[in-house]
Amino acid sequence: MRIGVDLGGTKIEALAIDENGEELTRHRVNTPRNDYNGTIAAIVELVHLLESATGRTGSVGAGIPGSISEKTGLVKNANSTWLNGRVLDKDLSAALGREVRIANDANCLAVSEATDGAAAGKHVVFGVILGTGCGGGVAIDGRVHAGPNGTGGEWGHNPLPWPKPEENPGPLCYCGKRGCMEMWVSGTGLALDYKQTTGNQRTAREIIAAFEAGEKDALNVVDRLEDRLARGLATVINILDPDVFVLGGGLSLAQHLYESLPKRLPNYVFGGEVDTPILQAKFGDSSGVRGAAWLWPLQR
């Protein structure tokens, strides 16, 4: 049995799958925010709960909103800031009495979809989370490619390519730079653009609903988001040329993206020739927790 844990800023979800990827059981609890020891204790309790429910023991993988530095072994870049500077993998391994594997949550999405999701069996998979923020992850042959700096796939903090005068220098990001992709192609970015161009405050979900109802302001703001997303994905193709993109997160539910992006990509990809499929994550919200479980991959 494999256990995956998705450590989010508001909830911790844990799931157990059997050797065929069939879900056995799952459970979630609220994240003890700003409480590191409480976070460890909550994960240990979840794992024990799944094991007593199934009567089996499992390997454990965890997805976190950050990464572990190769250099220091400490968590970095987590927006759940109480994890930063901690040896989370070692502390969890000690608390659970077994080796725990940890990866960035967007990398977990890529691994999940590459293993038995929308991109099953593909060689190079680029996963994109379009949620409150925007993250990216790379899986090669179903395994995380984090890289020596742990920043593989961190596309959300590259600047928007081919910026127009009005897009320069762009909004300030929490990472300290201006104009990051995250500030444009995310729920936050969509709501910000809508507010700046219309003067009205609406959530990303409301804007997408208005777009689907054909409201002009929403059509314009989604048009800009799709063009910006196409520019960002084009630079990924120009560097990595993945076999497939898989989109997860709340905005990935907007079906128009899958018609629009393939038409826009040739405007930006070098040479204009693009056949890269852009697919919706098969497991939706569960991709992160499934990918964490698959950090202990099938024997190949």
Q: Rounded CA gap, 131 and 191, in Å?
A: 12
> What Cα–Cα distance (Å) separates residue 263 from each residue in 21, 194, 201, 224, 230?
35, 24, 30, 14, 9
* CB-nearer residue toward Zn ion: 44 or 175: 175
* CB-nearer residue toward Zn ion: 184 or 211: 184
Residue span 247-266 as binding mask against Zn ion, x where in contact by CB under 5 A, dash where not: --------------------
Number of residues that bind Zn ion (CB under 5 A): 4
- Give the one residue of 157, 228, 231, 264 binding Zn ion; rule: CB under 5 A: 157
Q: Rounded CA gap, 58 and 73, in Å?
A: 24
Stretch of 20-28, 138-146, 170-178, 205-213 lying at the interface with Zn ion (CB under 5 A):
170-178
Stretch of 78-86, 174-182, 216-224, 239-247 lying at the interface with Zn ion (CB under 5 A):
174-182
Q: DSSP state, 158? A: S
Stretch of 42-50, 80-88, 153-161, 232-240 lying at the interface with Zn ion (CB under 5 A):
153-161
> What is the distance between the terminal CA atoms of the chain, rounded to a whole angstrom?
17
Q: Rounded CA gap, 257 and 109, in Å?
A: 19
Q: Rounded CA gap, 289 and 295, in Å?
A: 10
* CB-nearer residue toward Zn ion: 59 or 158: 158
- Give the one residue of 173, 191, 247, 281 binding Zn ion; rule: CB under 5 A: 173
Q: Rounded CA gap, 44 and 60, in Å?
A: 10
Q: Rounded CA gap, 218 and 199, in Å?
A: 13
Q: Does 175 bind Zn ion (CB under 5 A)?
A: yes
Residues of the shown chain interacting with Zn ion in the complex, contacts defined by CB under 5 A? 157, 173, 175, 180
